[in-house]
Amino acid sequence: MTTGSSVYSTSIHHFELYTEGFSVPAPSTYTSVEAPKGEFGVFLVSNGSNRPYRRKIRAPGSAHSQGLDSMSKHHMPADVVTIIVDEIGRVVSVGDGIARVYGLNEIQAGELVEFASGVKGIALNLENENVGIVVFGSDTSIKEGDLVKRTGSIVDVPAGKAMLGRVVDGLGVPIDGRGALSDHERRRVEVKAPGIIERKSVHEPMQTGLKAVDSLVPIGRGQRELIIGDRQTGKTAIAIDTILNQKQMNSRATSESETLYCVYVAIGQKRSTVAQLVQILSEANALEYSILVAATASDPAPLQFLAPYSGCAMGEYFRDNGMHALIIYDDLSKQAVAYRQMSLLLRRPPGREAFPGDVFYLHSRLLERAAKRSDQTGAGSLTALPVIETQAGDVSAYIPTNVISITDGQICLETELFYRGIRPAINVGLSVSRVGSAAQLKAMKQVCGSLKLELAQYREVAAFAQFGSDLDAATQALLNRGARLTELSMDSVIECH
């Protein structure tokens, strides 16, 4: 092999170039790896000057290939010691937030890529001729023929206690104007859910501070409890009240393992709503144990799709380190709509309600990551409160039935109850917790054991009582007791618009 030969490989992004006449010693043997088809950008980094020497080449064997040997002989400065090789492709077409790229033959599914304009994207469709890349941001700065560079990394986000009190976007970039994040680690947004052996059955209560929830549909640490209802029925209010009520409980915690950290993921909401939420949490000093992930309505669909996974990765930090966390997805209906938009633009075949065939897996792989870990694996937990918005009270639609079947129970809210002043407007008959009394304290079990049955009987009798006034004493007593129990279960809730 001639002088100036080098290691040339797509899997190695940084390697040393040795050649006679350079200031570094030349080894006795040289290695050469044939590159696959595709384009490569080669950057020659100067060791001495401030201006690096750069030159692009094509892969060996292509029509316009230029060997590393000839380049190193004739064009390379004497102080160049390192070559950085990046696999690059070219944009074939771009539009509607989707870029088709040719040449990225070694790319992984879900890998981050960077366009020449600095915009990033994620590779979702790996096809024979090209790669379908969803763009994070506006595609107006991307043109046909632009270079696209692999980053070599799957999408990851910052995690750790440094995130507490911060507001970040779907990629974990701070948007609260308080500067960069301090010391933190990075975690992949897509990871496997804990296995069967690593889990433990839910047995610790996760107190929401709402009487109707804690008594009728108790939630345990590590549970998934769906909050479902029409728009403007108080779904977000229940979630935010739960975060606010942890302030008092965390102040009584004697150890870190008793503290509950909160992650709130806002998907497709108005920016004004998110700003109002930040103000509410700040005034109550609840931001000190909370993280906000915001993918607002004006953000691109890929960020709305990615935000729940990013928030989950942040919550998993606490779960995997023996601590407890609560994550709220508000709401997963908008994530499904964003995913449908991306899938249709990627030309994936549509199914029921035009959603792609894997929309169930979209939510199941997210919600299965909420778990109570066994004592051998740290005994941490991640509790999930996903929110789903229904249309005209139809809980049998596609997305609501999917999420109901994944979760461990649901809290159903009704518009009629809301307008009657019963808040939170929980329909006791349709709401259920599949963990049940296992997630309640012993005293709470004794007090609330028959409460749900009595309220159900009250609703049934109240419907018939409207038709006549001749009621016996037992029925009248049941109605009076039911009315008092309903008043007792009402809480003052915040209002989010």
| 196 occurs within a structural domain | yes
Q: Is 434 a catalytic residue?
A: yes
User: Are residue 92 and residue 162 in the same domain, yes or no?
Assistant: no
What pLDDT does residue 493 have?
60
Task: DSSP letter for 116, please.
Answer: T
Distance CA 249, CA 409 (A): 24
Alpha carbons 495 and 497: distance in angstroms, whole number: 7
3-state SS assignment for residue 163: helix
| 15-19 contacts, C-beta under 8 A, 24 or more apart | 15/82, 15/83, 15/85, 16/81, 16/82, 16/83, 17/44, 17/68, 17/72, 17/80, 17/81, 17/82, 17/83, 19/72, 19/76
Co-location of 418 and 479 in the same domain: no
Tell me, yes or no, whether 22 and 48 share the same domain.
yes
Identify whether residues 163 and 147 lie together within a single domain: no
Q: What would the two tokens of residue 27 be?
A: 């080894």
Do 16 and 48 share a domain, yes or no? yes
Asked if residue 221 and residue 73 are part of one domain, the reply reads no
Considering the domain boundaries, does residue 69 fall inside one?
Answer: yes
Find the catalytic residue in 188, 199, 271, 434: 434
Alpha carbon of 187 to those of 155, 164, 166, 418: distances in Å? 9, 16, 17, 40
Distance (Å, rounded) from C-alpha 408 to C-alpha 414? Answer: 20
The predicted pLDDT at position 224 comes to 97
The phi, psi pair for 382, rounded to 5°, reads -130, 115
Q: Are residues 217 and 317 in the same domain?
A: yes
Q: What is the pLDDT of residue 305?
A: 97
- Is residue 494 included in any domain, yes or no? no
Q: Are residues 146 and 186 in the same domain?
A: no
Work out how many domains the chain is built from and give that number. Answer: 3
User: Which of these three, 154, 187, 213, is where a domain ends?
Assistant: 154
- pLDDT (0 to 100) of residue 7: 36
Residues sharing a CB contact under 8 Å with residue 411, sequence separation 6 or more, in sequence order: 213, 217, 225, 226, 227, 228, 238, 424, 426, 431
Residue ranges in the chain modelled with pLDDT below 50: 1-40, 42-74, 76, 79-81, 497
State the pLDDT at residue 285: 95
Beta-strand relationship, 167-168 and 131-136: unpaired
Q: Give CA–CA dist 206/218, Å, rounded.
A: 8
Taking the C-alpha atoms of residue 223 and residue 388, their distance in angstroms, rounded to an integer, is 17
Last residue of a domain, one of 128, 154, 180: 154
Instruction: Please identify, among 154, 182, 213, the residue that sits at the C-terminal boundary of a domain.
Output: 154
Asked if the structure places residue 53 within a domain, the reply is: yes
Same domain, 162 and 195: yes
User: What is the domain-level CATH number for residue 126?
Assistant: 2.40.30.20
Q: What's residue 198's pLDDT?
A: 95
What is the reported pLDDT for 438?
A: 84
Do 425 and 352 share a structural domain? yes
pTM: 0.84
- The residue written with tokens 């040393």 in the block is 16
**Chain length of the chain:** 497
The 3 state secondary structure assigned to 453-468 is HHHHHHHHHHHHHCCC
Q: Residue 457: phi, psi to the nearest 5?
A: -65, -40
CATH number of domain containing 351: 3.40.50.300
Task: Evaluate whether residue 496 is within a structural domain.
Answer: no
240 shares a domain with 117: no
Q: Which domain holds residue 309?
A: 156-444
Contact 185, 178 (CB under 8 A): no
- Answer whether residue 495 is part of any domain: no
For the four alpha carbons of 423, 426, 427 and 428, in that order, the dihedral sign comes to: negative
Which tokens is 128 given? Answer: 């024979």
